[in-house]
Amino acid sequence: MYYHCRPLKHVEYGKIFPPSDEVCDFLHLAYRWLSNYCGYCPQVWLARSKLSITGYKNKQILKKRQNYNNKRTEVKERLDNILFGFDIIKGYPVNFNSWEFLLGSLINNDTFEKQNADIISCMNEILKDYRNEGEEPEGEIKNWLDSGKDLDTYLRKYVFVEVDQVVVPSLNLKAAKQIICRDEKQKKTLRKMGFIENRIHIKNIVGGSV
């Protein structure tokens, strides 16, 4: 199943798009880089089975963080998150681990050319460190070496592959087969929007599966 998580205030009974305020998000440069491959920016993100990357977390765990003033807004928003599950989504695949690894190069450079140049430079620099230490490359650096240190080959073989997440330009929440919320109040709000009663479930999720 594919999961998408968003605050209740951004839920619509129908088609949704990335929130407009994401254009000011610190990840916007990364989203813009990705748009050169997927064709749209920003993107709606979905996790394939792996709930730990959706942003939906257990209520009790988050309560422990409320003592930190700088986290209060984040906690409130996360507690308001709703999780939507879909059987089939045809999206553009983005490997989460690879995406996370590339983010430094993507958010610190303001053009597509500079971003790609920085990816290549960083990969080669880390590979050099491995060799200087007499160690075998691991993870993304091993993938980089296996790709012949060619960026297009690396992206095709290891980044834009469906492992744990996909992106789409929009998403029809009305088509969700499973809707997970935290309490009866949220369920009532979702029901009033028009979502089908037997698809809405109240759960507090710990870990990475439903």
Looking at the fold, whether 77 and 178 belong to one and the same domain comes out as: yes
Output the six-digit token pair for 77.
């928003």
How many domains is the chain partitioned into structurally?
2
33 part of a folded domain: no
pLDDT per residue as tens digits for the range 76-89: 445 789 999 999 99
The whole domain housing 71 covers 2-27+38-93+164-202
Q: pLDDT per position in the chain (210 positions), as tens? A: 999 999 999 999 999 998 765 555 789 999 999 999 999 999 999 999 888 888 776 544 333 333 434 444 444 445 789 999 999 999 999 999 999 999 999 999 999 999 999 999 999 999 999 999 999 999 999 999 999 999 999 999 999 999 999 999 999 999 999 999 999 999 999 999 999 999 999 987 654 445
DSSP 48-81: ES-GGGTT---HHHHHGGGGSGGGHHHHHHHHTE
d(CA 127, CA 114): 20
Place of tokens 């440069």: 29
Residues 14 and 85 in one domain: yes
Tokens of 158: 């290891």
- The 10s digit of each residue's pLDDT in 98-110 is 999 999 999 999 9
The answer to whether position 128 is within a domain reads yes
Do 58 and 130 fall within a single domain?
A: no
Q: Are 121 and 47 in contact (CB under 8 A)?
A: no
Q: How far apart are CA 76 and CA 53, in angstroms?
A: 18
Q: Is residue 66 part of a domain?
A: yes
